[in-house]
Amino acid sequence: MDCLFCAIIEGAIPSKKVYEDEFSYAFLDINPQAPVHCLVVPKKHISSIDEVSEDNRDTVSGVLLAIPKIAKLLGLEGGYRVISNVGEDGCQSVKHLHFHILGGKKLPETMA
């Protein structure tokens, strides 16, 4: 399967790794939208939140459990925002489930 984030997880495409465990891989976004912008993805390919099901609950919960650990590693003591875009209307550009972790400043209330 031709998937950018699978290639990043495999190391075929370089990334700035922040965190890794059994279920998840986190790396800095190439085009940051905030002073801190990290992506956390499941190591197993899941297309989006729309594909979350009982079958992949361990993987998905593993990724969610990693988020506060990653936020600590990134020094986001003041808080942060987690976003996952889904499908066409959500402007999802990479079809591998990912959570944006944004922070490092007071984020605008209107930022969707």
The least CB distance from residue 89 to ligand 5GP, in Å, is 12
Cα torsion 24, 29, 33, 36: sign: positive
Rounded CA-CA distance 89/5 in Å is: 21
In which order are the strands placed within the sheet that holds 24-28? 17-20, 24-28, 36-42, 99-103, 80-83
10-49 binders of ligand 5GP (CB under 6 A): 13, 15, 27-31, 39
Least distance from Zn ion to the Cβ atom of residue 37, Å: 20
Q: Is 98 part of the annotated catalytic residue set?
A: yes
Amino acid at 80: Y
Site for Zn ion contains 81 (CB under 5 A): no
Pairing, β 17-20 against β 36-42: unpaired
CB of 26 to Zn ion, least distance (A): 15
Q: Which is nearer to Zn ion, 29 or 107 (CB)?
A: 29
Q: How many residues does the chain have?
A: 112
Report the residue from 42, 60, 92, 103 that binds ligand 5GP according to the rule CB under 6 A. 92
Binding interface with ligand 5GP (CB under 6 A): 4, 13, 15, 27-31, 39, 85, 91-94
